[in-house]
């Protein structure tokens, strides 16, 4: 304990501090009261005043008054010291009665503040309970237990248990914003941080998503119960799709958000997921495929799944010719082209020509292809072109390895493959997957799978998987804001900045794994350096959104200081 009436330069000297006890370990629950009882016993007489017959300055004696105000410690210690439940309890806050399920509620006017008198009454009820079961019931229902500090008549557990700035600010808000919200990556350039965090989340199958959205659209009385039956990851994805807040920890909060949104939105606002159509173009199907209306198919940004349905087309798929490019069509190329056009002769060897040669050959022959096609795919397109023009080329026999197929099938079950991954498999493996998962041909009159092109097999397999299987979401665009470019500007500004001797300067290369975790004192880099960071960001970034991010950062630091002062 320290004497707050002493000036600051004397307050924390060892000879002016009072060490009550040293605990060998964290006390369990209310067992800290055994230590507090000794302290309270010593402090109680000083509330009425203790007369000292003589002091250093008053030889006729002096009456001394002492009050224990305030308690400064971390959240866990503060809750245990003052008789509050854990910060993970339903009533997690020692200032208000907001429940942890509503922790995302940021409207202070709706928070019911704690009443110190009621707290004392419930704590006394806990103390006088005759059984441990009765005590546990009071604790579970109200989140309060007895603290020996309540023996002090002036002790206000709500007002006197303060939120200290070291744990709340430097090691709390500021560290969380740097590490989790804005994130630091010294190896990549910083971004806007506008994309949602999808770590450990998963994309629902379109069948499951379609059913849930239909139930939300119908909005029957059983909707709440139906949502409560879902897993948290499922509710997270629904909120993600509806554009609602996803950064909540409790399942109940996700359910409440969906119900609140539906009560204020009409059925037409609930997105629709079209039924499975094997003529659709999957969201993740990269390349130059076009629909009949000649509109580009592009993938959304941020995460791998960002749209509700595939791009549908009732007409056959059309392929846009890839952009032409300059190519030296020498005698060797002309010989390859001539041999390709000799439909009665043997097929040309397509393993030796490079990728550009095969693309140029496709352009000259009018063969449409995807710009991301590999050599193997281009060669297959050229051989298909020969077959369409009457050649009798022998069908290559592909080897089927059951062990390889088992690995391909297991991977297909776990995650959604990309087009590149599917096209890297042999035709026979895609054919076997189509048979095992009963992926139908375009219609019953079509030839068997073996004559369906590899591109169509892969596309329909991906459509089937999106319809019937959940898959982990992937972060396709960076979430971090503080990247290598901004860190280098900050480090350079730090070298040019002279700090007062009473401020501990942070490490010159903070933000890198080699430096390690900053201490609480070093996290003051945010408060003392925020204006210069804003200057660095406006110099570095021309994008107004990135500048706005750092303006918010500066105001966050100012607000954090004001909040700390308010809660003191």
Question: Quick one: pLDDT band at residue 475, thresholds 50, 70, 90?
Answer: low
pTM over 0.75: no
Q: Please give the radius of gyration of the chain, using alpha carbons only, rounded to the nearest integer.
A: 34
Region for 17 from its dihedrals, namely left if φ exceeds 0, alpha if ψ lies in -120 to 50, beta otherwise: beta
* Contact criterion met (CB below 8 Å) for 329 and 360: yes
Task: Please report, rounded to a whole number, the percentage of residues in the chain having pLDDT higher than 70.
Answer: 76
Question: Quick one: pLDDT band at residue 63, thresholds 50, 70, 90?
Answer: very high
Q: What is the pLDDT of residue 28?
A: 79
Look up residue 128 and give its two tokens.
């006088």
Question: Quick one: pLDDT band at residue 235, thresholds 50, 70, 90?
Answer: very high
Q: What is the pLDDT of residue 295?
A: 33
* pLDDT value at 507 more than 70: yes
The rounded mean pLDDT for the chain is: 79
Question: Among the ranges 96-110, 280-294, 299-313, 543-557, which has the highest mean pLDDT value?
Answer: 96-110
Q: Is the peptide bond before 492 cis (omega within 30 degrees of 0)?
A: no
* pLDDT value at 378 more than 50: yes
Whole-angstrom distance, CA of residue 243 vs CA of residue 74: 35
Q: What is the pLDDT of residue 522?
A: 61
Strands 184-185 and 318-319, by their bridges, are unpaired
For residue 202, which of 263, 246, 248 has the smallest C-alpha distance?
A: 246
Look up residue 475 and give its two tokens.
């972060």
Question: Quick one: pLDDT band at residue 210, thresholds 50, 70, 90?
Answer: very high
Q: CA angle at residue 76 from 73 to 77, to 5 degrees? A: 45
Q: What is the pLDDT of residue 122?
A: 96
Whole-angstrom distance, CA of residue 460 vs CA of residue 448: 14
Outline where 49-102 has alpha helix (H). Answer: 75-82
User: pLDDT for 68-85, tens place per residue?
Assistant: 988 888 888 889 889 999
Q: What is the pLDDT of residue 367?
A: 83
Look up residue 512 and give its two tokens.
């890198």
CB-neighbour burial class of residue 174 (10 A; exposed 0-12, middle 13-18, buried 19+): buried
* pLDDT value at 439 more than 80: yes
* pLDDT value at 552 more than 80: no
* pLDDT value at 296 more than 50: no
Q: CA angle at residue 92 from 145 to 117, to 5 degrees? A: 50
Q: What's the average model confidence in pLDDT over 226-235?
A: 92
| Length of the chain measured in residues | 568
Q: What's the average model confidence in pLDDT over 97-114?
A: 88
Q: Could you give the 3-state DSSP secondary structure of residue 16?
A: helix
Question: Quick one: pLDDT band at residue 200, thresholds 50, 70, 90?
Answer: confident
| Buried-state track 504-532, b at ≥16 Cβ within 10 A, e below 16 | ebbbeebbeeeeeebebebbbbbbbbbee
Q: Which regions of 285-428 does DSSP assign to beta strands (E)?
A: 289-290, 318-319
Sign of CA dihedral 150, 152, 156, 157: negative
Question: Quick one: pLDDT band at residue 92, thresholds 50, 70, 90?
Answer: very high
Q: Could you give the 3-state DSSP secondary structure of residue 135?
A: helix
Q: Which residues pair with 50 in a beta bridge?
A: 64
Strands 471-472 and 202-203, by their bridges, are antiparallel
Question: Among the ranges 299-308, 356-365, 445-454, which has the highest mean pLDDT value?
Answer: 356-365
Region for 394 from its dihedrals, namely left if φ exceeds 0, alpha if ψ lies in -120 to 50, beta otherwise: beta
For residue 310, which of 179, 210, 441 has the smallest C-alpha distance?
A: 210
* pLDDT value at 563 more than 60: no
Whole-angstrom distance, CA of residue 424 vs CA of residue 326: 28
- How many Cα atoms within 13 Å fall on the side-chain side of residue 367? 27
Sign of CA dihedral 346, 351, 353, 356: positive
* Contact criterion met (CB below 8 Å) for 39 and 20: yes
Q: When comparing pLDDT for 153 and 23, which is higher?
A: 153
Outline where 472-524 has alpha helix (H). Answer: 484-496
Whole-angstrom distance, CA of residue 131 vs CA of residue 118: 22
Instruction: For the chain, report the end-to-end CA distance as a whole number of angstroms.
Output: 17
* pLDDT value at 540 more than 60: no
In order of 50, 55, 261, the CA distances from 43 in angstroms are 10, 19, 54
User: Residue 8 contacts by C-beta under 8 Å, 6 or more apart in sequence?
Assistant: none
Q: What is the pLDDT of residue 558?
A: 47
* pLDDT value at 356 more than 80: yes
Whole-angstrom distance, CA of residue 184 vs CA of residue 486: 10
* Contact criterion met (CB below 8 Å) for 184 and 487: yes
Lowest mean pLDDT among 182-196, 269-283, 299-313, 404-418: 299-313
Q: What is the pLDDT of residue 531?
A: 59
Q: Could you give the 3-state DSSP secondary structure of residue 44?
A: helix
The conformation of residue 475, written as its DSSP 8-state character, comes to B
User: Residue 305 contacts by C-beta under 8 Å, 6 or more apart in sequence?
Assistant: 203, 283, 471, 473
Q: Which residues pair with 99 in a beta bridge?
A: 91
User: pLDDT for 321-338, tens place per residue?
Assistant: 566 677 788 888 889 999
* Contact criterion met (CB below 8 Å) for 111 and 105: yes
CB neighbours of residue 27 within 10 Å: 16
User: Residue 297 contacts by C-beta under 8 Å, 6 or more apart in sequence?
Assistant: 281, 285, 289, 290, 291, 311
Question: Quick one: pLDDT band at residue 553, thresholds 50, 70, 90?
Answer: low
């Amino acid at each position: 304990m320290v004497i707050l009436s002493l000036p600051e330069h004397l307050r924390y000297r060892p000879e002016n501090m009072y060490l009550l006890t040293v605990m060998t370990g964290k006390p369990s629950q209310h067992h800290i009261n055994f230590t507090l009882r000794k302290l309270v016993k010593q402090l109680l007489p000083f509330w009425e005043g203790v007369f000292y017959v003589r002091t250093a300055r008053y030889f006729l004696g002096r009456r001394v008054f002492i009050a224990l105000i305030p308690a400064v410690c971390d959240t866990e210690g503060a809750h245990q010291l003052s008789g509050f439940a854990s910060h993970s309890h339903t009533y997690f806050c020692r200032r208000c009665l907001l429940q942890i399920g509503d922790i995302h509620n940021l409207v202070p006017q709706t928070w019911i503040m704690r009443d110190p008198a009621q707290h004392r009454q419930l704590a006394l009820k806990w103390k006088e309970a005759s059984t441990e079961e009765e005590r546990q019931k009071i604790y579970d229902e109200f989140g309060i237990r007895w603290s020996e500090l309540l023996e002090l008549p002036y002790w206000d557990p709500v007002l006197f248990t303060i939120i200290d700035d070291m744990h709340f600010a430097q090691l709390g808000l500021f560290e969380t914003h740097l590490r989790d919200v804005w994130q630091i990556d010294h190896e990549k350039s910083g971004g806007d941080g506008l994309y949602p965090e999808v770590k450990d989340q998963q994309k629902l199958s379109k069948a499951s998503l379609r059913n849930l959205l239909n139930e939300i659209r119908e909005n029957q009385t059983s909707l709440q119960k139906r949502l409560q039956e879902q897993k948290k990851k499922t509710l997270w994805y629904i909120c993600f799709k509806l554009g609602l807040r996803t950064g909540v920890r409790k399942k109940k909060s996700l359910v409440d958000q969906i119900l609140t949104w539906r009560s204020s939105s009409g059925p037409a606002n609930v997105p629709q997921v079209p039924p499975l159509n094997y003529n659709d173009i999957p969201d993740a199907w990269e390349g130059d495929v076009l629909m009949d209306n000649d509109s580009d198919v592009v993938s959304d940004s941020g995460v791998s799944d960002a749209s509700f349905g595939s791009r549908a087309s009732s007409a056959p798929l059309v392929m846009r010719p890839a952009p032409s490019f300059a190519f030296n069509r020498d005698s060797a190329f002309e010989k390859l082209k001539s041999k390709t056009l000799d439909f009665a002769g043997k097929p040309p060897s397509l393993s030796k020509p490079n990728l550009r040669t095969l693309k140029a050959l496709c352009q000259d022959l009018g063969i449409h292809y995807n710009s991301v096609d590999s050599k193997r795919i281009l060669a297959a397109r050229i051989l298909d072109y020969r077959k369409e023009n009457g050649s009798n080329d022998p069908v290559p026999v592909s080897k089927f390895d059951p062990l390889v197929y088992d690995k391909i099938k297991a991977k297909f079950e776990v995650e959604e493959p990309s087009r590149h991954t599917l096209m890297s498999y042999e035709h026979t493996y895609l054919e076997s997957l189509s048979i095992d998962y009963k992926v139908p041909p375009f219609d019953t009159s079509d030839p068997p799978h073996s004559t369906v092109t590899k591109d169509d097999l892969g596309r329909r397999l991906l459509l089937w998987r999106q319809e019937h299987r959940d898959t982990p979401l992937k972060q396709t665009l960076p979430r971090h804001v503080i990247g290598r470019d901004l860190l280098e500007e900050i480090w350079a500004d730090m070298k040019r900045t002279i700090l007062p001797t009473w401020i501990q300067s942070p490490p010159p290369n903070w933000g890198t794994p080699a430096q390690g975790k900053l201490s609480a004192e070093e996290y003051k880099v945010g408060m003392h350096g925020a204006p210069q960071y804003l200057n660095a960001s406006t110099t570095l970034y021309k994008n107004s959104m990135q500048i706005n991010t750092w303006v918010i950062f500066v105001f966050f630091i100012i607000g954090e200081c004001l909040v700390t002062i308010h809660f003191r």
